[in-house]
Amino acid sequence: MADIIGIPDPVAPENIPPGIDKVGTGCRISDTVTVYTDLSHKERGRIVLGDDVILLDHVRLVTGDTRTNKGAFIHMGSRIIVNVGCYLSGEGGLQIEDEVLIGPGAKLLSAGHEYDHEPVSIYQHGLTYGTVTVEKGAWIGAGATILEGVTVGKGAVVGAASVVTKDVPAFSVVAGNPARVIKWREGFRPKPSVFLRLLKRIKGAIRGLGS
């Protein structure tokens, strides 16, 4: 890496940004990464990075006030790259498994706002929470938004600028607003269930009777 610029150097334990509780070996964290959390909490381990995690410029990690929101956390596995300008909300819990790629400007949002009924001002409403999980080997495209409570399945691909409002099946490729499955990764298309194969045979037999 000596001849490559634009990638942070491996972080020394004494240089871990305040608010990140634990990092593994070989992590690279830009000096412009910021953390919004409560430093007074006694429980450590709210924000944890595994080995070889890269957080590039202007990534924002958020758990909020953990004195009142005790379920907040951001846990990352190993060999994860979070590209520039990403916003990672762990207020409702954020679990990112090994070998996940997160493109520039992506937003993973585990919290939102209540908005139905009184009061009129959203400012005066409470928050809603839902754990976001990104399973091993998934790729979140540039500018994508993952909303609270969503699980992005193993090896799945989320297209750039997509808004993901429901779970993404493993090995699928989703895109759009709201995101929907547009294809499956070649070599990983799910096999039809026994029921679906039987249904296909029955439909074929019925068509044969009508001819």
Report the CATH number that the domain containing residue 41 is assigned in CATH.
Answer: 2.160.10.10
Range of the domain at 37: 13-210
Does residue 104 sit within a domain? yes
Please check the confidence at residue 1 and state whether its pLDDT lies above 60: no
Residue 12 — very low, low, confident or very high, per pLDDT cuts 50/70/90? Answer: confident
* In a domain? residue 44: yes
Q: How far from chain centre, in Å, is Cα 141?
A: 11
Number of structural domains the chain divides into: 1
Distance CA 140, CA 107 (A): 9
Set 41, 58, 113, 125: catalytic member: 113
Q: What is the pLDDT of residue 194?
A: 62
- Is pLDDT at 45 greater than 80 in this prediction? no
Compute CA 128 distance to the chain's CA centroid, rounded to the nearest angstrom.
17
Q: Report the Cα 169 to chain-centroid distance in Å.
A: 14
Q: What is the pTM of this model?
A: 0.88
Q: Is residue 95 part of a domain?
A: yes
Q: Is the pLDDT score of 193 beyond 60?
A: yes
Helix and strand counts by DSSP (H, E) for the chain? 1, 22
SS3 56: coil
Does residue 73 lie within any of the structural domains? yes
Q: For residue range 67-94, what is the model confidence (pLDDT) as tens digits?
A: 778 889 999 999 999 999 999 999 999 9
Confidence tier at 27 by pLDDT (50, 70, 90)? very high
Q: What is the pLDDT of residue 119?
A: 95
State mean pLDDT over 84-106: 98
Please report whether residue 137 resides in a domain.
yes
Answer yes or no: is 113 within a domain: yes
How far is 66 from 63, CA to CA, in rounded Å? 7
Phi, psi for residue 129 in degrees, rounded to 5: -135, 150
Per the domain annotation, does 5 fall within a domain?
A: no
Which of 55, 136, 64 is CA-nearest to residue 95? 136
113 labelled catalytic:
yes
ω before 104 within 30° of 0 (cis)? no
In a domain, 7, yes or no: no
